[in-house]
Amino acid sequence: MSMKFYLIITAIAILLSSCLKQSIPDAMLGISKQTKITATLRYEINGNLVSISVDDADRQGPGIHTLDCTKSSVYILSALSSSGEFVFTFFTDSLKVGSYNYTSAYGPMYVTTFQGKSQDVYGPTDHMIFNITTYKDGHISGNFSGQLTPVITAGFPNNIYGVPGSVLIKNGSFNNVPIVY
C-alpha cells in the first residue's frame, strides 16, 4: 500500500510540474514564452526607404503574418507593408547561413511592389542576393541587394516589362525574421 501511495504522489508531482514548463518545441529552440522578439526588414528601392517592423514576431495573428519566412518545399521570406509586399524565395530545402543568389537566367520572379507596379527579376542584369549571416533560435538575420525590372502591364505569362534593371534595391537588411514551419 505504501509503494502505491508513493507512486501516486510521484505521478501527481510529475504531472503538475510538467504544466509549468515550456512546450517541447519551444524548449528545444530555447524560446521563452515571455520574450518578445522584434523582426525588421529595411531596404532602399530607387532611393525610397521601406521599413517593416513587427514587435512580437513569434506571435503574429493567425493566417496573416506581416514578416516571416515560411518553410514549404522551399523557404519564402515575405513581408507586407502599406506600400505593398516583398517576397524572396530561397530555393533550398535546408536553409543555412550563407549567400543565396537569384538571377534572371532562372526565369522571371516577382520580388516586390514599387509605385504600384510589380518589380521582377527579369532583365539580363537583374538579380537578388541575400546573405543570411545568422540563423539562431528559429530566426534569420542578414542583408540583401538587387536589381529589378518593372512590369508595365501584367498579363502573365505575357507581361510587358519596362526598362531592364532600372530598379535598384540597396542597403537591405533583415533581423530576427521567424521561420514558420
- Comparing CA positions, the residue from 176, 149, 153, 125 lying closest to residue 45 is 149
pLDDT category, 20, cuts 50, 70, 90?
very low
pLDDT category, 144, cuts 50, 70, 90?
very high
Residue range 96-120, pLDDT digits in tens: 999 999 999 999 999 999 988 999 9
How far apart, in whole angstroms, are the C-alpha atoms of residue 50 and residue 81? Answer: 8
What whole-number percentage of the chain has pLDDT above 90? 70
pLDDT recorded at residue 61? 76
pLDDT recorded at residue 21? 46
pLDDT recorded at residue 12? 61
Contact of 79 with 66, CB cutoff 8 Å: yes
| Residue corresponding to grid cell 505575357 | 158
Query: Is 60 exceeded by the pLDDT of residue 33?
Result: no
pLDDT recorded at residue 14? 60
